[in-house]
Structure formats: structure tokens, C-alpha cells
Structure 1
Amino acid sequence: MDAWTRRRFLLASGVAGGGAVAGLGALGLADLLRTASDASVREDHRKSRKLVIVTLYGGNDGLNTVIPYADPAYHAARPELAYEPDRVLRLDGALGLNPVMKGLSRLWSEQRLAIVLGAGYPRPDRSHFRSMDIWQTASPDGPTNSGWVGRWLDGVKAAPEAAVSFEPMLPPLLVGETRTGACVSIGGLKLPAGVTTEMIGVLGRREPNESELQARAADAYANLIRIDQLIRDAEAVGLPPDTTAEPDIAATGTGGASVLSDQLSRVAQCVEAGVPTRVYSASLGGFDTHAAERPGHELLLRQLDQALASFAGRLARTEAGRRVTVVVYSEFGRRVRANASDGTDHGTAGPVFVLGPQVTGGLYGEQPSLTDLDDGDLKATTDFRDVFGTLLASVLDADPARCLGGGYEPTMLPFVVPD
């Protein structure tokens, strides 16, 4: 049975979970934790810097996240959605955080939160999928087959566990030309009616004279059952007592399906165990707020705030945790003017959050004008590749020009404390 036959069977039968797709890396949480079994390796990786990338799928409304409360144009453009100045959590005399983001406000006061203003890219695209592809591949000039973390994996000839996603599917971000990261599903394997573990086992048997691609496909399917049990065994350990429960957000066409606090809890577990992973990917979906935005957006921002604040607090307790940096981004912001449904439509630039014990807090870049617009949208003031380039250089010790699309030479932003 060739690779494509196996893949068609998997897709047609509705088998999901385990993170196993033909040709891509798949690990269980217990597998991942076992990579830290060697004491010398474990101690070395506790001392290495690590990056956690949080993707907000759907296009987060940056103007109601980092709020230009002192600008009359903000209140005039969205009178039903705008927050009054006395409600925002002030950052300075012009900008403030959404009122529900009390945890990030505390991190700001502790100078552990950096906010990069007006992040975007040239010639913005308002398609969720194309814009997210641009952010994850760092290639605004045209489609490419590798993500910016994937190109880092290629360059260091990394093992799959060097970059791990706790999302339901491996994001393009972690896919390189010769190396890929690994996907560790939280939910485990879900088999539809009529599909048994024995059937999956048959798909996973290597056959004589198979090509390397076919053999890799067989191994991926063989891993489904093994990984499912490993995940269930690992999850039986339970979550730490300080984990805050939050409502699950259903997946949308733009991505995001798992509870963010659960994903970050597993990241923290791996960091504390000293596993050799340098990059983690997590996500939260639901930010496509075209109608009745205020209540839904506040729910999402509250979940984001609680998950990040809890994670940051846990990181601060250990030496390994204090070497973790978190970046939070979305594929685009929203339009300046509210629509007729008390929501906002697809826009362009927005803020990026960077946080952690090694972050120099503050505002970076320039807040875009609300009156000098591009067809009703914000003009980006910071190229997003400057953010990712800074993280590549300061956290992953990489050459940013090699990892960013088109050999882009980023401007370094001083939001990470040098070693």
C-alpha cells in the first residue's frame, strides 16, 4: 500500500489526533518527556533559551486589545465598540490594555511585557489563509514550502523534538525543506465507527521494496496507536494545581481548537523536565469577530490573559522557565471603522506581544495613525520580520537572514535581554 493510499484512507475514514500525517513528525507527551532522560542532556537544555509561539487565529482586533483611548478618531470610528478612557488598563498617556487583561497589565508593571506596535507586512492580504501563510513562512513576496522555524530546523539539522506543536495539526511554521517539527496532540486518537486499531495497524506495516516515502508513511500510521496510549498515560498524571480552567473554543476554518491553558501547561511541563525542545507552538482560535464583537472578544482576551499570566508565573519559578520567551501574534488586525453588525472586518496591522523573564518591557515601534489610513486600514509601522528576526537571533542563536523569506535583513528590536 503506497503513501498516498494510506493518506487517502486516513482522510476518508476521519481518523484524527495523534498528530500523525504521512511524512510529518508525531510524538506523544510521554515520548517527549523521555527525551530528557539523560541527566547531562537535561541539564544542558534547562540552560538553553527557548521560544514559545502563540498564534491567535482569525485576526485579532488590535485596536480593542491595545487601545488608543486618548485618540478621538478611535471613538469616532467605532462608537459602540470603543472603550471609555476610564475603563482601560493604561500603559501610558495614549495607549491601554483591554479591561479584561489584568494579568498582562501586571506583567507590564513588572517590565516583563513588550508590545510591538503596528506589526504587519508590505502589500497586506486580507485573506485569513494567505495572511497566516505569510506570517508563518515570513515570505510576503510569494508562497514558499517552508516556515521560518522550519528553515531554522533545516539549518541545525534538528531532530523532530527540537520544535513541537501542541496544536491539533502541525502548523506550516514548523515545516522545513529537510526537517520538520513534531505535533503532540492533546486529545489523542479518535477512531470513527467501523475503523479499528487493527485496521490502522495494517496500514502501519512496512512492505518489501517500499520507497523511503512509503516506509515513512507506514511508520507514521504505526505510531498512531502507540502515541494514543502514550498520550493517555501522560495525561493521567493530571494538570498542575494552579491551572485555570477555561471554556473550550471550537475550531474554525481559520484554525484553533484546543484550550490554550492546557497547551501552555504541557509546554511548562516539558521545559521543567529539561526536554531538548527549543521551540513550542500553541494557539487560540475564534478571533474572526465580524458581529457582536465586544462579548466574544472579551471572552477570548480573558482566556488569553489568564493562560499567559499563569504560564509566566510558572516560568518565573525555575531556572529553566526563566529562559523562556513567549511571542503572541495574529494574521492581521481589524478595520478601524466598525461594521453595521457591531463587529469589525478584516484589516491589516496589529500589536505583537513578547513576554517572559528575559524580556525588556515597554512599547516598541510606533502606533499607526487612525486618520492617515490605507483604504480604511492601518498602515503597518513595523515589519513583522523584525520581530521574528530578533527572536531568531536572541533566543535561537540563528542567522535571521537565512531563516526569513527572501533573505530579509531585519532591524533588531531590543526587547530580549542578551546573555
Structure 2
Amino acid sequence: MLDRDISTAAARRLLSLPDLGGDELGPAGWTRRGFLQAVGLGVVGGAAVGTLGESFIPGEVRDAFAGAPIGAGEGILITIMLYGGNDGLNTVIPYTNGLYYSQRANIAVPANQVLTINDQIGLHPNLPYLRSLYGTGQMAIVQGVGYPDPDLSHFTSMAIWMNARYGVGATTNGWIGRWLDGLTPAQAELGVATIDSSVALHLIGTDRRAVGISPYGDMFGADTEPPDLRMYDGFRAMAGSSGGRGPWHDMFASTLRTQLDVARDVSPVFAQALPDAELTRKMTIAARLVNANVGLRVIDVGLGGFDNHDDQLANHPDLLTDLNDAVQAFYATVSPQFRDRVTIMTMSEFGRTSFSNDSGGTDHGTANDLFVIGSKVKGGLYGLQPSLAGLEQWDRLEHNVDFRSVIGSVIDGWMGGGGSTILNGNFENLGLFTAAPGSGYTGPIIVLPPAPASGFVSIAPLRVFDTRDGTGGRAWPLGEQESWEFALTGRFGIPTDAVAVAMNLTSVEATAPTFITVSPTGEARPFASNLNPVPGAVIPNLVVARIGVNGAVNLFNNTGTVHVVADVVGYFTPSSNVGLDALPPARLLDTRDGTGGTFGAIGPGQFIDLQVTGRGGVSEQCEAVALNITVTEPTASSFVTVWPTGQERPLASSLNMVRGQIVPNLVLARVGAGGRVSIYNNSGSTHVVADVLGGFGPGVPSKFVTVSPSRVLDTREGIGAPRAPLGGTATTLQLAGFGGVPGAGATAVLLNVTAVTPSMGTFVTVFPTGIERPNASNLNAAAGQVVPNMVIARLGPDGAAAIFNNSGAVDLVADVMGYFTT
């Protein structure tokens, strides 16, 4: 009699078979498993398809063990098994449902940390990459997934999920194995693999099964410890000659020598960096296998540890981090030619109870959520979030989507059909896909790996492009709905390891009201904006842009045509130890009242030097400062340049204005001689105001982490605040746990804040919660204007920032661009 309380690990062992296939000797002593393992570990197809491995793996080995390349209309499926029963309620969180917090008070995720999907549900804060995929329409969240008469045993429920057949009968095979049975011999040769040492039930068919691949490269002969080397030398000596013991001895000796030689030759390649986290490692290997194009149609990976009966908060968040990073690592590794050929699907044998227990854990449940991810997935919500109403301590959630409907929809929509035969019954097709594999490109998928925390390297402003005169290689404006790719790394002194660039972007000669979005190449264009040009105005804004594939960024213009000018002021790289000391805003200069030592407007062709170190909290060791510069009362169209004192003034601008216009802009300025910066005005005269927001210095631990732009505030839509313009008052914007900002560990957030059509001239101030509002401003907008500005928002003790509007009423929009670590 099987123990119904059998552990997850024991259930997996009982539902798996040792991988006995794939060990038959082939050319040069290689086996099929060894070949696939070498591919996954980077010997073949690791960095780029077809560029690695030929010197290590002979062509006859590839010919013997590689299957036929996948066909033009064939999709690839990556299945992720979350063993133990993932807690769906702490993965897809009903954060506005009071019952969620009352039923699991000791493990519930605070609402202000949830990555919101809509006004009812959101994702766990450790899933920012998956949230960005959902935001670009490339992830389906299927809610309330389960099956009738659910079983709470790991063994039985795993067997039901793995078998996936309607009706009764022995569970001796699984749905992927039965799909594999239906392929032609040539297609099935390397049709399915699992990144594991055993083959689970869902990968076993009646006639065929998957091949297992160890994720750790543990080839005999590859160890380098002295005892191992002595053993290898002994074996090599023993196998060095026939010894007169007959052909079987000679064949064994030859095979042993070959094994040792292969291990010696490829072990340096095995040392290629692979992540330590279990699932992230497996998904990186899976991407390398896809790149090799050896005929694999299904790759299975698994992650255990989800059976959290106690102390769930100590384990579950880390598992979700591994899931999030694993998917991101996969898309960072897989070759562009395969990105729209792959679908990823998560599964788990059951969910958890809605009530937590006294040990800070949950017990075996029923209905759960799963994800289907890909560039041709029809993103959105499927099914319904199970109701929490009327449940008692040991009650279970009711499912509303049969898990076989999800599997069948993937088989028919992505894997070539035959779902009803494989599942032994009809199912509801959920319509999860926008197009079939190989039917044409449907849009970019986010492919960038998680950004590392990076320090700042400041430079004197440097003009890198100006579409008016051809600087940078383009001498015509951006057209309507046009994206322009511009390469940055390896040029202009920006190294190839830079992850983000800081540049002052200026729009000129717009023919219609529009917006410009700057985003990394290789990533879907976010729902965010950096500039809002209008005809007749010159609009500047600081942009801190993540650098994408090919070391480039994309610039997108929405409407009409517009010229753009960019001056780089610095970049962020992991090799820099210069961090940000975020400060409450403090006024350092106001030429209207003499603050900062200059009283009176700056005239045409004139400049002033402004002392910045030792003031407003700025350290004497500071290398660069973040200043919000505002020009007011200009008498003519002009531009202002901020640069390090003591250096030659560069051909660049920090702000551009027309007569009578008030223009703010965040400036990251390298500090020059004597701890000062210089401020130049080109034409007419203008007053200048400068508020310091922080200083960059060596050894300061707070580094910058760029994220995919994410909207966290829009008072026009009710995002982050009530759906109403902000009157002459302050509102609190929770930032920790939102828009890719972690729930803990951030000191400041980089925001692009836009004031939209204020009812009268006003200014907006962003400052940390918990302090008195400072005498400073971040945006200045006239009635009816749309004015953006980058803001470094230092966070208060509650992880929030206050936003104050001085006069009238104004709609505010804020997009997170990154954050600074503690």
C-alpha cells in the first residue's frame, strides 16, 4: 500500500525511470547523452549557433547523434515542472481581496509589494521579468487550473498530471511520451530531452521516451583534483597497450582512452559560466540545446522545493526568483532565430490551501495558476481566480479550467495537433496562440538578462547624434511610427560592458504633438515615454536607457516627424565602484535671489561657476552630481550647457528654451576643478535654478539597476493613485515592490515624471516621505503643457515618495526606469 503522505522527492522517484537510453557507443567513443550534455554545457551552439564545438566534437559525432533540424512549421516546447505543489495564491495574488489577508495573515504578500496586473490581481514581487512579459502581451496566466475529484497525494496527483488522459486506466505513460510516439522515426530520434538524470512519467511513451541529460557536466575524466588526476593517469597507462588479453580488453581500453581524451579536451569548455541557481542553470542549458538545432522539440526541466508546510516565506520567494531568472536567462541565451519558435509552459501537481497554518506554511491544495509564455502566445488572463468566500481551514479551492484543456491547447496550437487522441478525449481549446510556429514574426520578446548593479562613469557632455546635420549618421527626422536603432557601446568611449547610458535627449521641429520612447534593442517597446514633443517647442529630457543587444538602443516616434539630438553625459557599468548618495532635494542656486552666490540673470555667451561639493549634503569626494536645472524668464530662444569647471565647454546642451518658457531638466554633471560645475547660457538672458538630488562618489555602495520601463502612476487611469488630477496638495506613491523595484533594498528610484495639461502654471516636487517638503522643484509646467522630467526620487522609510503639486490641478504620469540599491 502506497503511503498517501509520500514526499515529493519519493513521488518523483516512483514516477521516473533511470535514463537507460542514450549510452550506446558511437563515433570517437561518444554517446548520445554525452553529445547532448556537451551541447547544453556550451561545447556546441552556446554563444551563437554553429560557432562553437567543431574543434571539440568531430563532425561524425554530430552526424551520428544530432537529429534532423526542426522544420519550418514546427514549434519547440519547454516544460517547467514545479514539484511539490506551488502556492498559486502567493504567485498570482488577489491583493485587493480582504479574505486573502485574513486567511493567510502570516504569509500574505503586502499589497504595496505586488506587481499589479489589474485592480484585483498581481504577481509576486520576485517575478518582475514575468510581469514585463505579461505587459507586452507575451504571457498567458491561466487561473483556477485543476481536475475533477482532486487527489491530495503528491504521487497520485503527479501521476494524473503527467499521464493527462481522460478516463480511467493504468498510468504507465505520459502525454509528452505519447506525442513522441506519434512522430516519424527521424523526428523522434532526438525529439524530447529532460535536463535530469532520470526520465519522468510524462516523458515516457508506449514505444519511446525522452533522453536524460545531467545539468552538471559530470563526465568521467573531467575532474581536476590530484587524486582524480592520478586515477586517470593509471587508467590511461592501463589502456595504453593491448596487453595480450584479447579483443574485448582492447575495445574497453580504446573506449576508456577516448573517454579520458574527450573529457580532457572539453573540460575547459565545460567551465563556461553557468548560473548556480538550479532552474536558471537548467534553462540556460535548454537554450543552448535549442540553439544547436539538433531536432529537439520538447525540453523538460524541473524545480523542487515547493511543498512548504512550514516557514514558507523563507523558501517560496527564492524559488520564484529562480523561476523568474530562469525564464529571463533562457531568452538571453537562445538565438534570435529561435525566439519565436519557442513556447514555455509551467506546471505543478496541485496548489496550496487558501488558509496558512500555524507553522507559517500551507498544505496540499487543488486549483492553481500556470503560465504559458512566448512571442506568439496570446497574452492575458484565462479562467477565473478561484473564490475564497465561504472557505474553512481545510477547504480547498474549486478549479474552473481542466489542466488537460491547457495541455491540449498547447498540443493543437503549437505542437502540430492530435490533442484529443493524445489525451483520449475532447477538451476546451483555450486559443492560447496568435499564430502557428514559423508563420512569421509577431513582435520582439524581451531577451535581456537581469541587469547587474552598476556604478556610474561620468564624462563631459558629448554629442553622439543630431538628425538635423547628420551627426551620428542620420540627417533626416524620425518619421511617424518609426523605430531607429542607434549603437552606443564600443563608440564614444562607452565600453562594451556598459549596461545603461545617460544622455540628454532633445526634440526639435516636431510637426505634431507626439511622444518618443527610448528602449533597449531586443526588448519589446514598453508602455512608457521619455519625451513629449510639440510643434514650435524644443523639449529636452535626461534619459537613462538600458543598452540592448548589439550595444544599441531604439528610439521610437509616435506621430508626425521630429528631429532628435543626443548628448551623452555618462554610463553605468558593473566595473565602476562609483555609487549614488541620494539626497533630499536641496537648492544650490537661484539667480533670482542670489542663492549660490550669483544674483541676476546669466547674459548671452556668459557662464557662472557653481560650487556643488560641500553643499546640500554633497560629499567633498563626489565625482558627479544629479542636479535639477530650471531656466525661467529667458528673454530669447537659447540653450544652457552644464559641464565640469576647468574643462573646455563642449558642443552640447543640457536645456533648450524659447522666450518666456520655464524649462526643467535633470542633469548628471561631472564635477570639475574645486568641486564646481560651470553653467553657460547661449543667447539672451535667463535666470537659472539648481536643486541637487544626489552625488556620485567612489566607494558609495548604492549602485544603479536598470529595469524595463514600467508605469507606476497615471492619475488619468487610476494607476498608483485615484483617477483624478492632483490638486494643490501632495500624494504618496508607493515604489518599493512596484515596477521592478524590489520590496526591500532600494534607496532611490529613477522616475520619468510627466505633468499633463495643468489647469494653471505650477511646479511639482518629488521628495521622500517622512520629511518636510523641501524648497525645490522637479517639474515646472504652464497651463495646458505636457512636460516630462527625469527624477531621482529618494525613498522614505516606507518605500514611498511624496509628490506635491503647487497650484491648480494636474494629471501626473510616472514610469520607473531603474533603482539604486542600498
* Structure (1 or 2) with the larger CA radius of gyration: 2
| 1:415 maps to amino acid | L
| Aligned partner (choices 156, 161, 164) of residue 183 of structure 2 | 156
Which residue pairs with 1:342 in the alignment? 360
| Aligned partner (choices 181, 184, 187) of residue 213 of structure 2 | 184
Percent identity between the aligned chains? 34
Aligned mates of 2:390, 2:301 — CA distance in 1:
34
Runs of 4+ in 1 over 6 A off after TM superposition: 223-233
Is 1:59 aligned to residue 77 of structure 2? Answer: no
Q: Please list, as runs of the form range in 1=range in 2, the aligned pairs for 1:34-113 lying within 5 A after superposition.
A: 44-45=70-71, 48-113=74-139
- Quote how far apart the aligned CAs of 1:46 are: 6.8
| Aligned partner (choices 378, 381, 384) of residue 360 of structure 1 | 378
Aligned mates of 2:70, 2:349 — CA distance in 1:
34
Aligned mates of 2:261, 2:383 — CA distance in 1:
47
Which residue pairs with 2:194 in the alignment? 165
Which residue pairs with 2:398 in the alignment? 379
Q: For each residue in 1:356-396, what CA deviation from the matched residue of structure 2 results, as whole angstroms up to 9, or x when unmatched?
A: 11212111111111125595110111000001001111111
Q: For each residue in 1:111-155, what CA deviation from the matched residue of structure 2 results, as whole angstroms up to 9, or x when unmatched?
A: 111110011111111111111111111036453211001111112
- Quote how far apart the aligned CAs of 1:229 are: 8.3
What SS class does the counterpart of residue 353 from structure 1 fall into?
strand
Q: Is the 8 A contact 1:334 1:346 kept in 2?
A: yes
- Quote how far apart the aligned CAs of 1:337 are: 0.4
What SS class does the counterpart of residue 95 from structure 2 fall into?
coil
Residues 231 and 310 from structure 1, CA distance in 2 versus in 1: closer, same or farther, beyond 3 angstroms?
farther
What SS class does the counterpart of residue 315 from structure 2 fall into?
helix
| 1:143 maps to amino acid | A
Q: Is the 8 A contact 2:33 2:211 kept in 1?
A: no
- Quote how far apart the aligned CAs of 1:190 are: 7.8
| Aligned partner (choices 282, 297, 301) of residue 282 of structure 1 | 301
Residues 45 and 231 from structure 1, CA distance in 2 versus in 1: closer, same or farther, beyond 3 angstroms?
farther
Residues 234 and 120 from structure 1, CA distance in 2 versus in 1: closer, same or farther, beyond 3 angstroms?
farther
Q: For each residue in 1:301-360, what CA deviation from the matched residue of structure 2 results, as whole angstroms up to 9, or x when unmatched?
A: 111111112213444x51223210000111111001001101001111100111111212
Is 1:146 aligned to residue 173 of structure 2? Answer: yes
Residues 345 and 228 from structure 1, CA distance in 2 versus in 1: closer, same or farther, beyond 3 angstroms?
farther
Aligned mates of 1:25, 1:66 — CA distance in 2:
39
Which of structures 1 and 2 has the larger relative contact order (alpha carbons within 8 angstroms, sep 6+)? 1
Aligned mates of 2:301, 2:295 — CA distance in 1:
17
Aligned length, in residue pairs: 358
Gaps of 5+ in 1: 1-18, 199-222, 248-258
- Quote how far apart the aligned CAs of 1:295 are: 2.2
What SS class does the counterpart of residue 111 from structure 2 fall into?
coil
- Relative to its length, the structure with more helix (as a share) is 1
Residues 226 and 114 from structure 1, CA distance in 2 versus in 1: closer, same or farther, beyond 3 angstroms?
farther
Is 1:117 aligned to residue 143 of structure 2? Answer: yes
Which residue pairs with 1:237 in the alignment? 269
Aligned mates of 1:262, 1:132 — CA distance in 2:
24
- Quote how far apart the aligned CAs of 1:416 are: 1.7
Q: TM-score, length-normalised on structure 1? A: 0.77
Mean Cα displacement is larger for which, 291-300 or 157-166? 157-166
Q: Is the 8 A contact 1:120 1:350 kept in 2?
A: yes
Which residue pairs with 1:410 in the alignment? 427
What SS class does the counterpart of residue 105 from structure 2 fall into?
coil
Mean Cα displacement is larger for which, 22-31 or 96-105? 22-31
Which residue pairs with 1:325 in the alignment? 343
Aligned mates of 2:19, 2:110 — CA distance in 1:
51
Q: Is the 8 A contact 1:61 1:334 kept in 2?
A: yes
Residues 314 and 289 from structure 1, CA distance in 2 versus in 1: closer, same or farther, beyond 3 angstroms?
same
What SS class does the counterpart of residue 156 from structure 1 fall into?
coil
Gaps of 5+ in 2: 1-15, 24-31, 40-58, 222-230, 236-254, 437-822
Q: Is the 8 A contact 1:239 1:265 kept in 2?
A: no
Q: Is the 8 A contact 1:165 1:183 kept in 2?
A: yes
- Quote how far apart the aligned CAs of 1:262 are: 1.7
Aligned mates of 1:239, 1:230 — CA distance in 2:
14
